[in-house]
Structure 1
Amino acid sequence: MNSRSPDLFREATEHGNLRFHLMLHEYMTNPSSRERLYTHWHQEYELLVVEEGRGIAHVHNHRFPIAQGDILFVDSGNLHSLSAEPGVPLSFYAVVFGRELICSSGNDDIQQKYILSQSSGRLVFRDHFRAGEEAWEALHPALEELRRLCLAGIPGRELLIKAALLQAWHFLCQYPATALSPGPGDRDAKTLVIKEILQFMQENYSRAITLPELAGRFHMSEGQFCRLFKSRVNMTATEYLNQYRVSVACDLLRESSAPVTAVAMDCGYGNISYFNRMFRRYMHCTPREYREADGSL
C-alpha cells in the first residue's frame, strides 16, 4: 500500500513493478484545501473508490460531483483531479495497474474483444459509477475484494488479485458508456499540449517562469493560454506553479537541513516573504512550523 501525497503532474510514483504492475493507494485528503488531488496523469489505468465525503471529479474533459461510495475509472493517459469545499472530508482508495496485467499472451478473443477494443476507443468505458446503481452493485464488490487482497499477506495473492481485477474489467465492459467520449487522453491534441506544459513547468520550477514565456513557448496568446490551462487543470498556471513549488519545498524541508531561505531559492522563489506567504496559503503554517511538526530534523 502506498500513502504518499498525489503528484501534480505525471506521477513519478511506481505503481507496483514490471513483474506485478499494480498498486493500492489510500488517501485521506487535507480538508482545509480545496484541491484534494492535483491534476496529474499516468500511463496506467486507475479505479478509484470514494470512502468518505463528497467533492468534484475532473476526468479528462468531464466534470461531475462525487459522493461516498462512488467509483471512478480513469483511462490510460487521462488528466484527472479531485476538489472539494474546504472543511468537507474526502477520502478514497485507488487501484492503479498496467494494461499488461490483464492482457493475453496472444491475439485471442479476450485480447480482441475486451482489451484492444477498449485501448483503440471502439469500446468506451464509463468514468463514473454512482453508489447504488446497477452497474455499481456489480463492480463495487470486485474492487472491495481487490483492496482486501492487496492488504492481505496471504501466499499466492497475485493470482487472486489478478482474478479480481479481471472480474472488475468484465463489469467495465458489461456496463460501457452510452455515448462515445473523446477517447483516450493521448488522442486529444489539447490534452497533449497540457501535458507538455506541465512537464515544462516541472522541469523549470526552480527559475522564474512568466505567463508571456509560457504562452509564447506553446504558440498561443496569453488569453488563449490562460483559458486552455484553466479549462483542463481547473486552476490558473500561477496557482498551479505555486502549489507545485510548495510541494517541492515540503519535500526539501522534510528531507534536508537546508535553511528555509535556501529552500525558497531552490524552489524558484527569489523573495522569502512571498515564499512564506504562498507556503502558509497552501500548508496553513510557516515553513519552520512545517519542519518542526514533521519531526524529521
Structure 2
Amino acid sequence: MKSKMFLKEKTIHGTALVPIAIHHLSYSSNIDNFFYLHWHYEFEFIVVLEGAIVYTIEDKEYRVMAGQGLYIHSNQLHAARSYNGMHCEACVVLFHPNLFGNNKQGATYSKFVYPILNSQIEFDNYFKPEKPWQKSVIELIKKIDELRDLSLSENELLLKSRLFEIWHLCYQNSIPTSPKLKEKKNYKIERMQPVLDYIHTNYKEEISLMDLAKILPMSEGQFCHTFKEVMNMPPIAYVIRYRILQSCSLLTETDYKIADIARSVGFNNISYFNREFIKAIGCSPSKYRKEE
C-alpha cells in the first residue's frame, strides 16, 4: 500500500555497524497519546516498568501492564496510548534484521531471521512473567535498558549477546506456520484480490458490504468471515483504514482544507473523519499535518 509509506518512521535507529537503539520512555499522567501510528523495518521489544500502555499493532490492541512485555514485528503498523491516563515508564529496544548479518544468504540469517520475516514461523508477541521463558525475555530487555547511557560501540558484544539470547528464546518457543494453512491462506488472498482492487480503485465512492460481497460472489455473512480471516479486520474497517491512509499523503503533500481532503477520500462527514483519523493514527488530522 503506497500510502503506508507516509507512516514510515523517519528516525534512524542505531548505526550501520551497530543497528540497535535503546529508548527509555517516561510519560506523566493524563497524556493521551505516546506516539502515533507508524512502522519501521526494525524489530521492537518493549517492557513496561510502571503504569500501563495500550498498544495498537495493525488491527489488534494489547494492554501491557507493568512487568509485561511486547514484541512488534518488522513493518507492522503500531501506535501507543495511555491506559486510563496513568503515569507510565517503559524500555524499548529496536534492532535491524541486519544485526544477524548483512548477507541474506548467510547461515544465521537464513536459518533464524528469514523464516520469521517470511511468516514461516511466528513469535509470541505478548510476554508475561508467569511463563519462565517470557520472564527471561523481560529480564534481558531490562538488562539491555541498563546500557542505554553507556557507549553502545564499547558494549557491543554484551548488547548483541543479550539480543541474541532474546531471539534464541523467542525462536525456541515459536510456532511453525503449517504449509497447508499458508497455502490455503495464499489461495484466499488471491481470491480476495478482486475485492481489494475494487476498494483501492473506488475508495472515494460509497462502498457497501453488499457491493463487496457480490464481487466474489458470496453471502454477506460468508464474505465478512472470509475477509476478516484473510485481512485480519472486517471489510468496512479495511475500507475506512485505506481511506485514512490515503488522507495522510494529502495532509502532508497538499495544502487542501481538511474538510476537502475528508470528502476526497470518501468521508461525507468531517466529524466522522476526525474520529476515525484519531482512532487510526492517534492524533487529529490538523495535528498530524502540523507535526509532519
TM bucket (normalised to shorter chain) is 0.5 to 0.7
Paired letter, 1:53: A
Distance 2:86 2:231 in 1: 22
Matches within 5 A, 1:86-235: 87=84, 95-103=93-101, 114=112, 125-131=123-129, 133-147=131-145, 152=149, 154=151, 156=153, 159=156, 161-173=159-171, 176-177=173-174, 180-182=175-177, 187=182, 189-190=184-185, 193=189, 203-204=200-201, 207-208=204-205, 210=207, 211-215=209-213, 220-231=218-229, 235=233
Question: Do 1:56 and 1:84's aligned partners in 2 also have CA atoms closer than 8 Å?
Answer: yes
Distance 2:58 2:265 in 1: 29
Q: CA RMSD in A?
A: 5.6
Q: 1:86 to 1:264 in 2, by over 3 A?
A: same
Residue number in structure 2 paired with 1:278: 273
Q: 1:46 to 1:229 in 2, by over 3 A?
A: farther
Paired letter, 1:162: K
Distance 2:39 2:229 in 1: 16
Give the Å deviation of 1:138: 1.9
Question: Do 1:57 and 1:64's aligned partners in 2 also have CA atoms closer than 8 Å?
Answer: yes
Question: Do 1:246 and 1:282's aligned partners in 2 also have CA atoms closer than 8 Å?
Answer: yes
Query: What is the count of residue pairs matched by the alignment?
Result: 272
Paired letter, 2:189: V
Distance 1:49 1:198 in 2: 39
Distance 1:291 1:13 in 2: 19
Give the Å deviation of 1:133: 3.9
Question: Do 2:48 and 2:68's aligned partners in 1 also have CA atoms closer than 8 Å?
Answer: yes
Q: Which of 36, 50, 72 is equivalent to 2:70?
A: 72
Could you list the per-position Cα deviations for residues 175-232 of structure 1 after superposition, in whole angstroms to 9, with x for gaps in the alignment? Answer: x15xx45369x93643772996997588547522623554455665433331234456
SS of corresponding position for 1:268: coil
Question: Do 1:215 and 1:222's aligned partners in 2 also have CA atoms closer than 8 Å?
Answer: yes
Identity %, equivalent residues: 19
Give the Å deviation of 1:169: 1.5
Question: Do 1:201 and 1:241's aligned partners in 2 also have CA atoms closer than 8 Å?
Answer: no
Give the Å deviation of 1:81: 6.8
Distance 2:182 2:5 in 1: 18
Give the Å deviation of 1:63: 9.1
SS of corresponding position for 2:71: strand
Distance 1:43 1:246 in 2: 22
Distance 1:296 1:112 in 2: 39
Residue number in structure 2 paired with 1:53: 52
Give the Å deviation of 1:254: 6.4
Length-normalised TM-score, structure 2: 0.58
Residue number in structure 2 paired with 1:257: 255
Give the Å deviation of 1:130: 0.5
Q: 1:182 to 1:208 in 2, by over 3 A?
A: same
Question: Do 1:74 and 1:127's aligned partners in 2 also have CA atoms closer than 8 Å?
Answer: yes
Q: Which runs of 5+ in 2 are unaligned?
A: none
Q: 1:158 to 1:141 in 2, by over 3 A?
A: same
Q: 1:102 to 1:231 in 2, by over 3 A?
A: same
Distance 1:153 1:197 in 2: 53
Length-normalised TM-score, structure 1: 0.57
Larger RCO of the pair (alpha carbons < 8 Å, separation 6+): 2
SS of corresponding position for 2:272: helix
Question: Do 1:10 and 1:41's aligned partners in 2 also have CA atoms closer than 8 Å?
Answer: no
Paired letter, 1:99: P
Question: Do 1:70 and 1:129's aligned partners in 2 also have CA atoms closer than 8 Å?
Answer: yes
Distance 1:261 1:122 in 2: 43
Paired letter, 2:135: E
